[in-house]
Amino acid sequence: MFDLLFIGNPAIDKAIAEPEDMPQSLIARLRGATLKTLEKTYRLAIESQAQGIVLCGSIVDPTRVSPAQLIAFRQLITRAAEHDCETLWVATNPADAQEYLRVLGEPKGLSFASPLHPWTQTIRSTTVELWAVSNEADVERIAAQSSFEPLHRQILVGSDTCPEDDHSATSFLSSSHLSQPNTLAIWATKSSSSLPHHIFPLPSIQSRCQTDSLNSGCYGLTFYRPQSDGDNDSPLGNKCTVDQWKQLPVSEVIWRTIHIESADEDHEALSQLLWEACQALLGEVVLEGDETITSASPLVIIDCQIACGTSITRRLEVNEIAPETKRILRERCAAASPHIWIQSISADVEEPLAALGRNRSGGRPGASNSFTSALADLVTEAEAASPGTTAEREAGWLALELLESE
């Protein structure tokens, strides 16, 4: 049972890119994934007897959303209200509330929290205030109104507003007010690494691509629950020992990457290796899921990366046999696991080039002056200066593959 469910960046009007060669049956799942994920979450909230569903971040763009999407969203809100579950929209701009109410036709059960007006509810005999925050002024204003009574909880909720400068957007969250024992701070973000350690990161409920596929889903918050091992998915578990913050896998589409090593296999042998890896991955996905949450397995889109041990010749061979390998693997998946789609097979672009650099050349004649060694050193130096990015590594392998294929 959860008291509140939190949904980050549902963006029901934002579509997932459709691969050109994907079957229509799977494309249909992609097109309906955002709303389907939201439906799962609302159903979970009702089954959990939650008192509220909190929406924050990118929710609906009135200029892009379709009438059908609005109708479906409105129905979810009203259906939850029939089960005493309120939908709470976190609006950092107080003026947005009236606009969204108008767009949705003022459905019963929809409330708003803003930096000026909190949502207030009594949960487990405790007065809970939920505020929207977007800057330091909001936090200071709320802190000035805090009573810090024993049975009084504050939840401050915000989202990324400056994706290009995450640090400046969230630096104010280190406010001393957030360290109060009766205050929780939750931030909807695609990059939890940029947040202070005492903030609950709230990832997007449904990923749109491979690059933002980690930690998707909604989160459930339960007040005053006896803590047990593994209850909390956040470092805040140590601070708020009486609260449970739990990630719930409800995403309709998930992305995964398979990494395997390949020495000299042909397309038949390589497809067998990848099939075995897919089966192992499928077992992990099932363990992550929950049959009470999802009535069907999520669509799993897989990117296969083949490690070639820095052999440029082998990388070219892998890329050459990739189309036939992918065809064989897709046929096996369609027969045994139709909810798995092999998106791509390629030589691993994340393999480091350091072993090819002049410092690792082993004193071979001319190696230190070779283009390969020089390029490998440049890539390694660039990665050291900007850790966490793979663009230089991908470009380096592409250049070496083009040179080798000449």
Rounded-to-integer distance, Cα 182 and Cα 364, Å: 65
Residue 190 has pLDDT above 80, yes or no: no
pLDDT at position 369, please?
45
pLDDT at position 45, please?
95
pTM of the predicted model as reported, rounded to 2 decimal places? 0.83
Return the number of other C-beta atoms located less than 10 Å from residue 121's C-beta. 17
Angle at CA 288, nearest 5°, toward 283 and 292? 110
Band the pLDDT of 174: cuts 50, 70, 90. low
* List of domains in the chain: 4-248 (3.60.21.10), 253-405 (no CATH)
pLDDT at position 52, please?
95
Q: Which residues 6+ apart lie within 8 Å of 72 measured at CB?
A: 35, 39
pLDDT at position 358, please?
65
Angle at CA 149, nearest 5°, toward 148 and 155? 55
Residue 295 has pLDDT above 50, yes or no: no
pLDDT digits (tens, 9 = 90+) for 220-239: 999 876 555 555 554 444 44
pLDDT at position 50, please?
94
Q: How far is CA 313 from CA 159, 241, 316, 318, in A?
A: 46, 55, 5, 9
More confident: 277 or 171? 277
More confident: 27 or 386? 27
**Bridge partners of 188?**
159, 202
pLDDT digits (tens, 9 = 90+) for 345-390: 999 988 888 888 765 544 444 444 477 888 888 888 887 777 666 7
pLDDT digits (tens, 9 = 90+) for 233-269: 544 444 444 578 899 989 999 888 898 887 777 888 8
Band the pLDDT of 304: cuts 50, 70, 90. very high
- Tell me what percent of the residues of the chain surpass a pLDDT of 70: 80
Mean of the per-residue pLDDT values for the chain?
Answer: 82
User: What is residue 376's three-state secondary structure?
Assistant: helix
Classify residue 212 as exposed, middle or buried by CB count within 10 Å of its CB (0-12, 13-18, 19+): middle
Provide mean pLDDT across the span 319-337: 90
Provide mean pLDDT across the span 302-319: 89
Band the pLDDT of 91: cuts 50, 70, 90. very high
Q: Which residues 6+ apart lie within 8 Å of 59 measured at CB?
A: 9, 10, 11, 12, 89, 100
Rounded-to-integer distance, Cα 175 and Cα 152, Å: 19
Provide mean pLDDT across the span 82-102: 92
End-to-end CA distance of the chain: 62
pLDDT at position 236, please?
47
pLDDT at position 352, please?
84
